Amino acid sequence: MPEFNALNMPVHRASTLTYSSARDFLNRFERMMDGFSYGLYGTPTGRALEKQIAEIEGGEHCMLLPSGLAAVTHPLLALLKHGDHVLLADCVYGPTRDLCTSLLAQYGITHTFFPSDASTIEPWLNDETQMVVLESPGSYTMEIQDIAAIAHQAHKNGALVLMDNAWGFGQIDCFQHGVDIVASALSKYASGHSDICMGACTVKDRQLFEKLKMSFIGLGTGVAADDAYLVMRGLQTLNVRLAEHEKRGYAVAKWLDSQPSVSRVFFPALESDPQHERFKRYFSGANGVISFTLHETDIARIERFIDHLKHFRIGASWGGTHSLIALTNISNSRTSTAWKGSPWILRLHVGLEPIEDLMGDLDNAFSTLSSV
């Protein structure tokens, strides 16, 4: 029979796997970490993706999860217990904040939010602190914590550091800066086409990997082989897409910074951004995610500005080929430090449509503000 050597990893769909003997079946749990025992716990397609993600993140072991949020929440559920304390940057993703204030609080796990641009966590550490959660740049407002300094302080206190790396996937090796667990949303730039929900937890330490893996198995967590295949397909163009999104993002951020209707632009790759020095220290590049505030604070007029856009569609998430805009009231999600300035943050994802169309779209929307 002629050889069939596919260039890409095939899709291995399976729930039930068969065994060659009764003894092999009884010993199937020995395969949990690195082998195959049941479709939910891994397929060759999923394992191939995990290997690629681990290489991109700079880690040794990777575990796929059904969403980027699950990649953050599952380690918290797996590693924290009653009486433990978790520290979180004040800019973390909203659902991460909600998990700590609701479900984890129910379990007797306490939490404290520290300033989003912190260079130290020492004032908030205590004997019960077991986990520190970072998100750099932060959701919507793009703060960058001093990752290495905070990781050093956490480890000295006996705590692990988890980094939500949704923004920086492919642009930072968190492990070089002391992070223990890297949680990434593969739904975004990894897949690149806005049609997959998936996340990944990557670690270097084998013991930590096994502890997390067994916890995720106990929670019944797994991903479909078809979805894993689509993410692998997206990874083939990751570097090219990231470079193009960064180029366009920088151009749009620079232009926004010159608009009279714009109060502030949040884009750490921009030289005028307060986070620029930390950005250069930790990240090798940027992407197409930009936030900004308007001088206009009337919500009806801000909504009219957004509704006037044609190419920037209204939607959450980012990382695909299409341009998006999202709106949030940031003052509702700050605990450690009161938010100063306009509470209404507009977040753009600059997609891969013709850049002239995108700039014209924004220009037309700004005309609705100047006409008031």
Walk me through the domains of the chain, giving residue ranges and CATH numbers: 22-235 (3.40.640.10), 238-370 (3.90.1150.10)
Model pLDDT, residue 37 = 87
Sorted by sequence, the CB contacts under 8 Å of residue 311 that are 6+ apart come out as 323, 353, 357, 358, 361
CB–CB of 296/261 below 8 Å? yes
Sign of the Cα pseudo-torsion (78, 79, 83, 85, in order): negative
Number of CB atoms found within 10 A of residue 50's CB: 20
Q: pLDDT tens digit string along 193-213?
A: 999 999 999 999 999 999 999
Model pLDDT, residue 176 = 98
Q: pLDDT tens digit string along 286-302?
A: 999 999 999 999 999 99
Phi, psi of 34 (to 5 degrees): -125, -10
Mean pLDDT, residues 228-251: 98
Mean pLDDT, residues 154-166: 98
Mean pLDDT, residues 3-22: 89
Model pLDDT, residue 370 = 65
Model pLDDT, residue 257 = 97
Higher pLDDT among residues 338 and 372, named by residue: 338
Q: What angle do CA 281, 323, 298 make, to 5 degrees?
A: 90
Q: Mean pLDDT: which of 26-35, 80-89, 361-370 is highest?
A: 80-89
Mean pLDDT value across the chain: 95
Residue 98 in tokens: 């909600």
**pLDDT greater than 60 at residue 23:** yes
Separation in Å, CA 370 to CA 130, 151, 261, 310, 313: 51, 46, 8, 18, 22
Model pLDDT, residue 294 = 97
Mean pLDDT, residues 224-235: 97
Amino acid identity of residue 94, one-letter, is: G
Strands of the 110-114 sheet, one edge to the other = 61-65, 199-203, 181-185, 160-164, 129-135, 85-89, 110-114
**Preceding peptide of 137 cis, ω within 30°:** yes
Model pLDDT, residue 236 = 97
Model pLDDT, residue 371 = 47
pTM: 0.95
Q: pLDDT tens digit string along 165-193?
A: 999 999 999 999 999 999 999 999 999 99
Q: Find how far residue 24's CA is from the centre of its chain.
A: 39
Q: pLDDT tens digit string along 143-152?
A: 999 999 999 9
Model pLDDT, residue 364 = 96
Phi, psi of 2 (to 5 degrees): -60, 150
**pLDDT greater than 50 at residue 372:** no
Higher pLDDT among residues 320 and 14, named by residue: 320
Model pLDDT, residue 309 = 98
Mean pLDDT, residues 89-93: 97
Model pLDDT, residue 92 = 97
**pLDDT greater than 90 at residue 7:** no
Sign of the Cα pseudo-torsion (271, 276, 280, 283, in order): negative
CB–CB of 241/189 below 8 Å? yes
Residue 116 in tokens: 């989003």
**pLDDT greater than 70 at residue 228:** yes
Tell me the three state secondary structure of residue 364.
helix
CB–CB of 57/165 below 8 Å? yes
